[in-house]
Amino acid sequence: MSADVLGRWVPERPEYVAAVLAEADFPWWIAGGYAIECAVGRELRAHGDLDVLVLRRDQAFVRELLADWDLHVADPPGQGKLRPWRPGEVLRSPLHDIWCRRTPEAPWSLQLMLDEVEGTQWVSRRTLAIRLPIDRLGRTSAAGLPYLAPEVQLFYKAKATRDKDETDFEAVLPLLDATARAWLADAIKVVAPHHPWLRRLFPVSRA
């Protein structure tokens, strides 16, 4: 979506969002590039937005916490159109992308992403074949911030990798253990079986 058309972005810091969501009694995770920075423990690059992942089942709770904010949903997804998220409205798939700002005059500062869940399983909004137990979906940073597990964030970034995604991948790759690498490789194979990251996740050993 074009910021020129939909308004400018001045993303909040993750610490600020944590304060806003401090009273949340549902899980949420810092996502996007900031999630990768939480994993590596340092800043990597500039950010144009700030993503927060929430399970679709908890949308009413986050809508209540942000009742004083100006919230708009991308509808239809990916078409460059926003409309107000009305109080009490239940967003159903494929609607998942919510732009948030303090007031209609303020810049956009937070992007909520709704993901699917079945029982105790997180389910990717892109394909029902990609799943993970919810208790493995996130980590906690040294500063106490909940963030999306890097292998899950990299799966979302693998769809159409940009320079910033390559930066994130290179930074966090050494921190992925065998379980995380295997899950990420299996997930990428479902949506992009020839993705170049696959060779870098499990390089062939030379004799």
pLDDT in tens, 161-194: 999 999 999 999 999 999 999 999 999 999 999 9
CA angle 50, 180, 11 (to 5 degrees): 5
Distance CA(164)–CA(46), nearest Å, equals 9
- pLDDT, mean of residues 107-129: 95
Looking at residue 78, its pLDDT comes to: 86
Under 8 Å between Cβ of 29 and 137: yes
Between the CA of residue 134 and those of 41, 55, 66, 121, 183, what are the distances in Å?
A: 23, 10, 24, 5, 14
Q: Which domains does the chain have, with CATH numbers?
A: 3-175 (3.30.460.40)
The span from the first CA to the last CA of the chain, in angstroms, equals 48
Structure tokens at 87: 């109080």
Structure tokens at 106: 């303020």
Is the pTM value of this prediction over 0.85? Answer: yes
Q: Which helix (H) or strand (E) holds 190?
A: helix 178-191
Q: What are the two backbone dihedrals, phi and then psi, of residue 156, each rounded to the nearest 5 degrees?
A: -65, -35
